[in-house]
Structure 1
C-alpha cells in the first residue's frame, strides 16, 4: 500500500518523536466483543526502512485487516487503509506493506479486522519510527526462543529477556533464527541443574515435536501468548531470519529422518510446512513478490542489514574431511550478497548470519555449520564462504552469527 503525498500531508506533522516506553498503552487491548474479530496474538511491524514498513496481525475468524496510520499520535485524523482478507488458509494472519513514508518520522498505527458485515472488532495500537538521515541507530538482537525445554514461566514474569530488550528502546529488533523450537517439546515442569523446578505454560501444540502445519503454527502462537513478546513486537520493528529449529535440529534439504519421534520422515515436507508457518507469523518485505527470506533491510545512510538464509539452499551436511565445495548460501544468494554489499553506501554493513562461520558445530560425525576444524586449504562449506570473503576484500562489514 503506497501512501499518496496528499495522504501523508494530511496525517503528518513535525518529526522527531521518540519511541513509546514499554508499558505505556502500546499494544494495550480495548474492549473485546466475542461476536467480532479479536487479536489473540497481538500486532507487529517489521522491515522498516526510511520510506516503508510492514504491519501484521492475526485474528480468530475470517476478516479483512484494517489499519489506521498517523504521524502525530491522533487517530481521529489518521489515514485509514484496508488490507487483505484472511482465512483459515493463512491461519487468519495478515500483513500490509506501507510505502511512501517519510524518513525520520514516528508513526503510530492501530490494527483490527473487519468482519463480513463491516463491523470492526478488537483493535491494538503500536508504533515505529522510520530511519532518518541525521539520527543514530540502535538495535537489539537475539536467537533461540523457548529452547532446551524453557518456555513461558509465569512465576518469573514470562519471557523477561524480551522486556529487558524493550526497555533499551531500540530502533529495531533482529531475531537471528530459531524463533521457535519446533523439535523441542515443552513439559509442565523441568528440573534445573541446581535442583529448582522451572514451570512452563504448556499447550497441546508444544507438547510434542512439530510435524503438522497446525503444530508449527502453534509454536508461534505459543510465544505470542507472552505479554513481553507482544509488547516488544508492538513497539519495536522486527527483522526476522530463520535457522534450523523453525523446522528441526540441523536439517538440510533432501534429508530423511531416522528420529523415532517423527511419523513424517521427509524433511522437505516438514520444511515446507515450517516455512509457511514462519512466513505467516513473522512479517517481512517480500522481494519482488517472492517468499524469500534473504534480503537487505536499509536503515538509512548509517546502516544496511543483510539477512542471510543459510538453511534453504545448503547441501547435505558433509564429513569434516570433505575436500570439494558444499553449498551453504547457494550460488544465487552468494552472488546477491557480494553484489549488494559492494553497492551499499551505508556507513555500517551488518551481515546477519544465522549460522556461525568459525565455530565448529558437529552434527554427529558430520559438520552442521561452515568451519571443518582442519588446517590448510578450505574444504566443504568453507569454499563458498572463502569466495564471498575474497570478494569483499577491503569492504568493512559488521557480522552477527546465530
Structure 2
C-alpha cells in the first residue's frame, strides 16, 4: 500500500497541528495544562536514564506484538514493554529501555534482512513504533523483539504490492467492536488461522465501561481482575491500563501476530457517541477535550500506527489512504472526530429539518474533499472505504416515515448525498464500504436513491459484526423481519459474533460472513453464515 502524495500528507499533518493549537486556545487554565501534560512528550524523552534491560526479571512482552499499514517498501512494527501489565507504568521504572528488533524472510530468522535498536520511552508508556524501510514489495516477513534475556513471540507481516503494479487478488478481513466484558475474543482465534493479507479494524477496539473482577460475561472463576478496571476510563492512565487488559487476551494477540492491521476508531475508544468536542453527557467541551487528548494519546501508543498519526493535543490525523497495486485503493475514514452533533439529541428519530440540514457533516469538510479528490485520481479497480457507522439507509420500522439512527449516516443524509455524488462524478464503478459499530452483520446494495429501490445500485456495503460486543447474539434477532422488509436493499442480516472476509479479484469480489455460536463461553467453532459476490463493473450483491 502506498500513502497519499507527500505534499498531501504534509498539508494534512500541518492542518491537524493548526487545528490542535487553535482548539487549545479555547481551553483555559488547568484544563489546558493537563491536556498538554497528558499528550506531549517531556524533555525527559531525550534525557531520562537508560535502564539495564538485563534487570527486567519478568517477561516484558505480555501485550504481544503487531504490525500495520503495509506499504510497498516498508512495514510498521509495534510492541509495548509491560512485565506487570495491570500496574501503572507497566512494572518498569521511569527510564528508557533499549529494544532490538529483527525482520526476516523466514520464521526461524535464518535469513534476517533488517535489524536495529529502538528506545522504548516511559513518556510513551514504553511502546515502540518501528518503521522498517527499503524492503521488497509484495513480500511476507517475520519479526520479533528482544530486550535483556527476553525474546517476544514471532509475528508475520507483509509489504503491499508495488505502486501501480497489476495485482490479481487480495483477501482482507474486517472486524469491529470487541467489548472485553461481553465475552471471549474467539473470532480472533479463528482469524489468526485464516489466510488473509490484511485485517481492517473498523472501530471500538476497546470500551470505556467498567469491567468487574470476573471479567463481566467472561465470568472468570480461576482469576480475579484488579479493581483498577472496575471504573470508566477517564485519564491517560485509565486508557493505558484498559489497553493492557485487552491486549493480554491470547486470541487478540494471536491475530495481531498473524496479520498486519489497518485500524480506525469509532466512539468507545474515547466515550460513547461523542461528536467532535461534545460528549454524551453535556460536559463543557474544554473538559471533554482533556479526556479526548488522553484517549487519543493512548490509542496511538497501543495501535500499530505510523508517525503521521501521532496526536497533537486532542487531535489525531487518522484518515489516510493506502493502496494495493492497481487492484484496490483504501480510503480509511474518521466519522467521529469532525462530525456535527447528532440531531434531535441522538438516538433514533424520524428525519426532519435538523437532521437533513445540508450544512451538517459526519466527516468534516476537509476530509470530505480529501475523499472525493482521492477518488478522482484513483486508478484502482476497487475503491474501498473502511469506516465506522452504517452508511446505507436503514429504516428501523415499517411506518410511512420511518425512524433512523441519528448517530449513523442516516442522521447526516446531506453528507451521504455529497459523497455519493462525488463517487459518481469521479467515475467510481466499484465502490465498497466496510462498516462496524452495530454488532450485527449486514450486506447492502448501495442505491443512488434509497427511497427509490428501482434506482441504480452504485456500490456495496459490508457490515462486520462484533467480535464480542452484544454477547452471544442470535442468528435471527427480533428485528429481522422488520428490517429486511423496510430495507429491500439489505441482502443479509445476522446477529451472531464473528468477522467478514472479502476476496477482491479482477472480475468480482466475494464476501464471506463468518460467525461463532457463542462468546460467553470460549472455544466455539467458526461457520460461514452466508457468502455473496459482486461483479466488477456491475454493482449488486448475489448469493455465492
The alignment's TM-score, normalised by the length of structure 1, stands at 0.76
Corresponding pairs, count: 342
**TM-aligned CA deviation for residue 307 of structure 1:** 0.9
Deviation readout 1:83-129 (Å, 9 max, x if unpaired): 5422221111111112222122111112234xxxxx46333311112
Structure 2 residue corresponding to 1:230, chosen from 245, 253, 259: 253
Counterpart position of 1:136: 169
C-alpha contact 1:328 1:384 (8 A) present in aligned 2 = yes
Q: 2:535 aligns to what?
A: none
Q: Counterparts of 2:405 and 2:142 in 1: how far apart (Å)?
A: 49
In the TM superposition, residue 304 of structure 1 has moved relative to its aligned partner by 1.9
Q: Distance in 2 between matches of 1:293 and 1:186?
A: 31
Matches within 5 A, 1:265-304: 266-287=287-308, 291-304=316-329
Whole-Å separation in 2 of the counterparts to 1:189 and 1:37:
23
Report which stretch shifted further, 124-133 or 272-281: 124-133
1:125 aligns with 2:125: no
| Structure 1: runs of 5 or more not aligned | 1-31, 114-118, 152-157, 192-196, 373-380
Asked whether the 8 Å contact 2:144–2:154 carries over to 1, the reply is: yes
**Aligned-partner SS, 1:277:** helix
> 1:33–1:300: structure 2 CA closer, same or farther, 3 Å change rule?
farther
Unaligned 5+ runs, structure 2: 1-53, 83-91, 345-350, 397-402, 437-544
- Cα distance in structure 1, aligned partners of 2:107 and 2:234: 43
Give 1:232 deviation, angstroms.
1.1
Please report how far the alpha carbon of residue 264 of structure 1 lies from its aligned counterpart in structure 2 after TM superposition: 11
Quick one: distance in 2 between partners of 1:292 and 1:42?
Answer: 25
Root mean square deviation, CA, Å: 3.0
Match of 2:387 among 330, 346, 353: 353
| Distance (whole Å) between structure 2 residues aligned to residue 163 and residue 43 of structure 1 | 15
| Aligned 8 A contact 2:80 2:126 in 1 | yes
Show the counterpart of 2:538. none
Alignment of 1:250-265 (within 5 A): 250-255=273-278, 258=281
1:327 is displaced (CA, Å) by 2.3
Q: What corresponds to 2:406 in structure 1?
A: 367
- The answer to whether structure 1 residue 243 and structure 2 residue 282 are counterparts is no
Match of 1:65 among 91, 96, 99: 99
Give the secondary structure class of the aligned counterpart of 1:54. Answer: strand
SS in 1 for 2:390: coil
Contact 2:99 2:145 in 1 (8 A): yes
